[in-house]
Amino acid sequence: MEKIEILFSKKEIEDRICEMANQINQEYNNDEVILIGVLKGSFIFIADLIRKLNVKNNVDFISVSSYGDKTETSGVVRLIKDLDHDISGKNIIVIEDIVDTGLTLKYLVDLLEQREPKSIKICTLLNKVCRRRVELNIDYIGFDIDDYFVVGYGIDYAQKYRSLEYIGNVIIQEDK
């Protein structure tokens, strides 16, 4: 069994996303941007973020797999679904739910850079800096967190808990 302990409430998430959107609005101004959501974990974050943007935007999704149903990355990233858009010459922001070792994003950024976008930025709601295994420059960070395994607000544990409105820390309890 697992127990979930609240880390960020619905209100805290909402407020932080407004701040992040304001930052993006200021930086892109009149320039168009394509938000690229990394499925599935980012789907709720991207939906809330995009509704706070007043810059011209477009949305696309990409899907990669590295975890299966485990809580540790295997380090091997596989492309499951590619983008629908041609991103060459476009401003793109890759939208992640959480950056852990950074291996997934490193793979994605390398892949997307080959397509020669005009600019590429990274935006993540959660950042587990202490777990990083590769160097990554993240442009927009919602919250830095310690080494917790988190769920909720789109983020899952073995496909569960995505629909929680808050973000919580999973505590695994041994069955007696």
Q: In a 3-state reduction of DSSP, which class is residue 92? A: strand
Closer residue to ligand IMP, CB minimum distance, 41 or 117: 41
Closer residue to ligand IMP, CB minimum distance, 102 or 117: 102
Cα–Cα distance for residue pair 124/118, rounded to 1 Å: 20
Cα–Cα distance for residue pair 78/65, rounded to 1 Å: 5
Give me the least distance between CB of 13 and Mg ion, in Å please: 16
Q: In a 3-state reduction of DSSP, which class is residue 37? A: strand
Binding ligand IMP (rule: CB under 6 A), the pick from 7, 62, 99, 120 is 99
Binding ligand IMP (rule: CB under 6 A), the pick from 4, 45, 96, 123 is 96
Closer residue to ligand IMP, CB minimum distance, 58 or 101: 101
Please return the burial class of 19, using the count of CB atoms within 10 Å of its CB with bins 0-12, 13-18 and 19+. exposed
Cα–Cα distance for residue pair 169/128, rounded to 1 Å: 13
> Regarding beta strands 167-172 and 150-151, do their DSSP bridges make them parallel or antiparallel, or are they unpaired?
antiparallel
Q: Is 100 a catalytic residue?
A: yes
Catalytic residue among 15, 100, 144, 147: 100
The item of ligand IMP, Mg ion, none sharing an interface with residue 166, based on CB under 5 to 8 Å by kind, is none
Q: Of 71, 77, 45, nearest to 59 (Cα)? A: 45
Would you count residue 92 as binding ligand IMP (CB under 6 A)? no
Classify residue 153 by its DSSP letter: T
**Which residues are near Mg ion by CB under 5 A?**
38, 41, 97
Binding ligand IMP (rule: CB under 6 A), the pick from 13, 34, 102, 152 is 102
Which residues are marked as active site? 100
Interface residues with ligand IMP (CB under 6 A)? 38, 41, 66-67, 73, 96-104, 149-150, 155
